[in-house]
Amino acid sequence: MRYGWPLGVILMDIDEFKAVNDVYGHDIGDRVLKMVAQTLLKSSRAFDVVGRWGGEEFISLAPNLKRDELHSLGNRFRILVEQSSLQVGSEVVRVTISVGATLARSDDTVDSLLSRVDRLMYQSKTAGRNHVSADP
């Protein structure tokens, strides 16, 4: 707010992560979480903040971008996670993410902003997963 820069918030959830734990076990599930985290960190801009939000959710705070750039960043995350893989014996484990993205508004509270981005992420789940939903 101090500099008048827009702030993008991107919430990402690993699709069907429970199945990864059920099929491969929690150790492999932990390795998948680390793989996704590294993918997101390496594909972020230097001044973005990316972290694990909880469970199999990750969040990115991305300052100083426009609405179309926000959608592009969310889509870049989605594509790069989809293309990442983890070798487990003779098998290759891949996951996808559902993404919600929004820009903070001047009247937002932390709760309203997080609620909106959460709703958008669940829209991506409803749309079939491995999808980006952003404010129009």
- Is residue 2 domain-resident? no
Considering its fold, how many domains does the chain have in total? 1
CATH number of residue 19's parent domain: 3.30.70.270
Q: What is the mean pLDDT of residues 109-114?
A: 96
Q: For residue 136, how far is the Cα from the chain centroid?
A: 18
Report the pLDDT averaged over residues 112-118.
Answer: 97
Rounded to 10°, the helix 17-24/26-42 angle is 140
Q: At what angle do helices 67-83 and 26-42 cross, to 10 degrees?
A: 140
pLDDT recorded at residue 5: 86
Residue 107 inside a domain? The answer is: yes
Q: Residue 46 pLDDT > 80, yes or no?
A: yes
Q: Which domain holds residue 48?
A: 7-131
Examine residue 89 and state whether it is found in any structural domain, yes or no. Answer: yes
Residues marked as catalytic: 56
What's the pLDDT at 27?
96
Overall average pLDDT of the 30-37 stretch: 97
- Would 103 be classed as within a structural domain? yes
The pLDDT score that the predictor gives to residue 87 is 95
